[in-house]
Structure formats: C-alpha cells, structure tokens
C-alpha cells in the first residue's frame, strides 16, 4: 500500500436490476470522498477508492470482494446493497479480516465484528409504518415482495405488528427479482379481488418501478389505497414518473425534504456535483454519512488496521444530513431518525410523521416489540 494514500474498496452495482439505488450509494460515497480529499484528506493523505461494479450478481460481489481484499491490498470496503449481496460477501470479509461498511436498510438479526451497519433496522422503519397505515388507511393490508431474505423477514415482522394491533394481512405474494409484467399483473389481480386498505411492498429494482407504473395505469386510488414501502425513494420516483406516484408512502430515516443546515449543505453539494435535476435519498445519504464516519475514525486510528478502525468508528457522533447519529456499540448499528413521507407531485416527499429524536437500533427485536411509546403517528 502506498504511504501517500489511504486505499479503500467500493463495491456497488451501477448496472443490473438495482442500478438506480446502488448508483445512489456510489454517488453518495464518491461525494464524501471528494469532500474529504478537497479538505486535505485524512492526516494529509487522500482517500483513494478502488471501485468495481458487480452488476447485481451475487457471485460477482463475492469474487470482487475477494479481489479487493486479497489482491488490491484493501482492508476497508464500502459496499453491498441487498441482503443477498451482503450475505454473499460476508464470509469473504471475515476470512480476510476486512471491514465492510454497509449502508442499506435491512432485516437485522445479524452481527459481525467485520461489519459496520449504517442503514436502518426494522424497528427504525417498519414499526412506525405499520402504525401509520393502520391508523390512517385501514386494517386490511396486502403484502407483496421479492423472494429473498429481506422481504420475507420484513413481511414476517410487519405481519406480527399488524396482527398484534388488530389488523389483518389479506394476502401475501412473492415474485422473482427479475419478475416481468405477468407476475406483476397477478399481484394487481389479487389487489383488485381482495380490496385491501393499503399495500406493503418489499419489491425492489426494476420490477418495483414497473409495479408502480402498472398500479397507476390500473386506476387504483393512490390516496385512499397507497403502496407503502421501505425502499421506493426519490430517485426511483423520478424514474417512474412523479405523476404516477403521488400518495404513495415511504418509511425511511432520510428524505431530501428534511430540514436542517447539514441537509441543506448535502443537497446543495450533491446537486452541484451530479446535476441540478438529481435528488438525494435514503440510498445516497447513508453511503455519504458512513464515509465521513470512517474518515473521522481513521484520523484517530492513524492506520487502516481493521481492528483499530472498527473500534474507533463506534465512538463516533456525527451531524449527518438526516440529523445527529451515533453508534450503539453493542450492536454495531446507528441510532437513526425514523420518518414517514407521502409522495407529492414534484417527486419529493412531504414528511407526515417523524420520531422526536434518534431511535436506538434493535436489530434482534429484543425490546418490547409492539409497545412503542415514541410512536405518536
């Protein structure tokens, strides 16, 4: 490794089924690296990213992670988006004693000394969403998801919450990650027949975008029967067409419309760097934040030794664009700011509810699961 730079790996897909969201991860990462380097780097040395595109292929994530750690002389990787890609990479990262910074919301129930988790856990997005839907739209909820671990675990927890509060899951269907229109039409036929009050969707990538288009074309009243999601954020809304998405709901820890100086600076910098018509989102913001957290830890550690960075980063307290964040050292996850947004005509979100402050991560759902005093939705 050169003594004049800090080499790190970047492993996000800029092609394949999750192109839109993972490109946002990549751009958030790139912006943070550029900001840090423009300010003089860390201890006078720039961060030098080595970036690969796995193309949404889990075997490529695995082989490229091995390449970064074994051949490119890298200890730190910023990467992965889906839980499937994280699970593919994790044994490689642990075997080579690397450190993965993982920025996506996910299903929880995982702990590794070789991972820093900066996305939301289910208690930081799903709990509030269940309460919001039941109180504002009705008791009958329909589930649709892609067939892998994150949607199935999210739906399992959502079902428990809905039923514990007197609601009913009227249908549950899973589709392939690369599902075509035929699969989506079956879902729409289910919704027409069952007449739920809201749809909870854990469909991701291109099928999710097409599902929203087809839902609008089918004539469903989005303000009375919305699709609620943990993932369908500003950039994908723009990709679909904002006029086709008004009324739909997103439960997330960040929206471009969050008020505050840190977010104003982030949005302005992001647009200045990548174009005035782009939007920030819950995909780009955690990726951006985790690089800054890493740089602060690196400054204290003075080396890229995995154990030192891992220890130092857990001490961080940082004013992120979403608000102040800090680590829960017991779980290696961040305290974050749950919010619920409703899509509007310009493709951004009106924040309909937000927690009064950052909420402790509970990736194992060990706390009282459905009695959240802070939920005043």
Residue 161 is encoded by which pair of tokens? Answer: 């919450």
Q: Are residues 37 and 176 part of one domain?
A: no
Q: Are residues 30 and 81 part of one domain?
A: yes
Contact 202, 105 (CB under 8 A): no
Q: Are residues 245 and 348 part of one domain?
A: yes
Q: Are residues 131 and 115 part of one domain?
A: no
Residue 50: inside a domain: yes
Residue 158: inside a domain: yes
Q: Are residues 154 and 23 part of one domain?
A: no
3-class DSSP assignment, residue 214: helix
Strand-pairing partners, residue 79, are: 11
Predicted confidence pLDDT, tens digits, the chain (377 residues): 457 999 999 999 999 989 999 999 999 999 999 999 999 999 999 999 999 999 999 999 999 999 999 999 999 999 999 999 999 999 999 999 999 999 999 999 999 999 999 999 999 999 999 999 999 999 999 999 999 899 999 999 999 999 999 999 999 999 988 888 999 999 999 999 999 999 999 999 899 999 999 999 999 999 999 999 999 999 999 999 999 999 999 999 999 999 999 999 999 999 999 999 999 999 999 999 999 999 999 999 999 999 999 999 999 999 999 999 999 999 999 999 999 999 999 999 999 999 999 999 999 998 745 445 345 55
Q: Are residues 156 and 233 part of one domain?
A: yes
Per-residue pLDDT at 46: 98
Contact 104, 119 (CB under 8 A): yes
| Count: domains in the chain | 2
Per-residue pLDDT at 2: 55
Residue 375: inside a domain: no
Per-residue pLDDT at 179: 86
302 φ/ψ sector (left φ>0, alpha ψ -120 to 50, else beta): left
Q: What distance in Å separates the CA atoms of residue 76 and residue 33, rounded to the nearest whole number? A: 14
Q: Are residues 242 and 139 part of one domain?
A: yes
Q: Are residues 249 and 303 part of one domain?
A: no
Q: Are residues 154 and 244 part of one domain?
A: yes
Contact 93, 116 (CB under 8 A): no
Q: Are residues 196 and 134 part of one domain?
A: yes
Please give the sequence-ordered ranges of beta strands (E in DSSP) within the chain, or none if there are none: 6-11, 47-52, 76-79, 99-102, 115-117, 140-146, 168-175, 198-202, 227-229, 249-252, 317-320, 323-328, 333-335, 339-343, 349-354
Residue 371: inside a domain: no
Q: Are residues 65 and 168 part of one domain?
A: no
Residue 195: inside a domain: yes
- DSSP for 42-80 reads BTTB-EEEEEE--TT-HHHHHHHHHHHHHTS---EEEE-
Residue 103: inside a domain: yes
Give pTM, 2 decimals: 0.94
Residue 377: inside a domain: no
Q: What are the φ/ψ torsions at residue 22 (nearest 5 degrees)?
A: -75, -30
Q: Are residues 226 and 133 part of one domain?
A: yes
Identify the CATH number of the domain in which residue 134 sits.
3.40.50.2300
Residue 368: inside a domain: no
Range of the domain at 251: 123-257+338-354
- Please give the C-alpha separations between residue 103 and each of 72, 79, 211, in angstroms, as whole numbers: 22, 7, 25
Q: What distance in Å separates the CA atoms of residue 92 and residue 80, rounded to the nearest whole number? A: 13
Which among 121, 11, 27 is positioned nearest to 66, based on CA atoms? 11
């Amino acid at each position: 490794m050169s003594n004049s730079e800090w080499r790190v790996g970047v492993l996000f897909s800029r092609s394949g089924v999750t192109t839109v969201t993972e490109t946002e991860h990549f751009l958030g990462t790139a912006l943070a690296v550029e900001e840090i380097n423009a300010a003089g780097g860390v201890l006078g040395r720039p961060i030098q990213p080595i970036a690969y595109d796995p193309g949404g292929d889990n075997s490529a994530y695995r082989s490229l992670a091995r390449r970064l750690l074994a051949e490119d002389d890298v200890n730190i990787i910023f990467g992965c988006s889906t839980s499937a890609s994280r699970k593919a990479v994790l044994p490689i990262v642990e075997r080579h004693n690397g450190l993965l910074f993982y920025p996506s919301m996910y299903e929880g129930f995982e702990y590794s000394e070789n991972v820093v988790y900066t996305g939301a856990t289910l208690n930081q997005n799903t709990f509030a969403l269940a309460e919001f839907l039941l109180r504002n739209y009705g008791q009958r909820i329909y589930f649709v998801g892609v067939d892998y671990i994150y949607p199935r675990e999210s739906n399992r927890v959502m079902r428990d919450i809905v039923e514990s509060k007197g609601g009913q899951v009227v249908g549950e269907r899973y589709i392939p990650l690369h599902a075509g229109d035929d699969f989506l039409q079956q879902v729409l036929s289910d919704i027409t027949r069952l007449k739920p009050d809201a749809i909870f969707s854990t469909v991701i990538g291109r099928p999710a975008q097409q599902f929203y288009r087809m839902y609008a074309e089918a004539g469903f009243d989005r303000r009375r029967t919305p699709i609620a999601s943990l993932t369908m954020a500003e950039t994908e809304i723009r990709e679909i067409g904002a006029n086709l998405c008004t009324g739909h709901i997103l439960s997330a820890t960040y929206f471009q419309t969050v008020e505050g100086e840190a977010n104003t600076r982030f949005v302005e910098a992001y647009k200045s760097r990548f174009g005035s018509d782009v939007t920030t989102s819950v995909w780009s913001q955690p990726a951006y934040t985790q690089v800054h957290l890493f740089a602060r830890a690196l400054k204290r550690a003075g080396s890229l030794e995995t154990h030192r960075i891992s220890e130092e980063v857990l001490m961080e307290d940082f004013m992120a664009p979403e608000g102040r964040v800090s680590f829960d050292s017991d779980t290696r996850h961040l305290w974050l700011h749950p919010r619920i947004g409703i899509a509007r005509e310009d493709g951004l979100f009106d924040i309909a509810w937000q927690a009064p402050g950052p909420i402790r991560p509970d990736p194992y759902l060990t706390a009282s699961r459905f009695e959240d005093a802070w939920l005043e939705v």
